[in-house]
Amino acid sequence: MFLSELKYPKKSHRKEIQYPQKSKKLAEFMGIIFGDGGINNDWQLTVTVNSVADREYAKYVIQLGKELFGIEAAAKKEKKSKALVLRFSSTNLVDFLVKMGAVRGNKIEQQIDIPSWIEGRSEYKRAFVRGLVDTDGCLYTHKHSVSGNRYWNIGFCFVSYSKKLLVSVGNILAENGVQPHYAKQMRSIYLYSDKAVHSYLSVFNTSNERINGKYQMWKGARAV
């Protein structure tokens, strides 16, 4: 392909990057990619978050990418939605991420699963799940009454249309003492009890203030 045939001929997408060693931070970044990230061309990774709920988390993702790869992401809010798209532009970065287990194109059609280098170490698996859940998971609260007493419960949900990835996440949760419950369609994992949610956050932690804030709000306001 000649330079003039490029979509953005004046931009150099073969920019130099840092090549990080395998680490918990890289595993977490891979989890982010496998969650709300995507590689749809040869030169750009995008990560899409909520511009309101995930505002602080977006800053975290940008900083993590800079720390790992030495490049800045461009952030742009979509005009007709609350989506905030973070764009990491570098052909070298895309090549590296694919080498580390990310995929180009439709992740669901390719039935993605956890990269083998992450599967080999427990701390990498926990970091990967953290990145995955911080983007594609949520905490939710619900109220109900028993014998006239009102209770405010908390739950956890992670959704993936890749059965392989869903089962792998469930296995990692179980390995760490957190019992997963699969929906009938095998598209989501739930944690129903307060204890299970607490165990998840104690073991896996979160880098997303949306999740931590929801949990802290529930702890401070649950009513009996």
In contact, 135 and 32? CB cutoff 8 Å: yes
By DSSP bridging, strand 181-182 and strand 188-191 are: antiparallel
Range with the poorest average pLDDT among 77-91, 96-110, 184-198, 201-215: 184-198
Residue 10 in this model has a pLDDT that exceeds 70: no
Measuring CA to CA, how many Å separate 38 from each of 56, 106, 108, 199, 220?
20, 8, 11, 30, 36
Options 1.10.340.30, 3.10.28.10, 1.10.10.60, 3.50.50.60; which CATH number does 135-221 get?
A: 3.10.28.10
- Say whether 135-221 and 13-106 share the same fold: yes
Q: Name the CATH superfamily for 13-106.
A: Homing endonucleases (3.10.28.10)
Extents of the domains making up the chain:
13-106, 135-221
Look-up of token digits 């073991």:
203
Residue 53 neighbours by CB under 8 Å, 6+ apart: 82, 210
Confidence of residue 184 (pLDDT cuts 50, 70, 90): confident
Residue 145's pLDDT is what? 56
Q: CA-to-CA distance for 84 and 73, rounded, in angstroms?
A: 12
Confidence of residue 122 (pLDDT cuts 50, 70, 90): very high
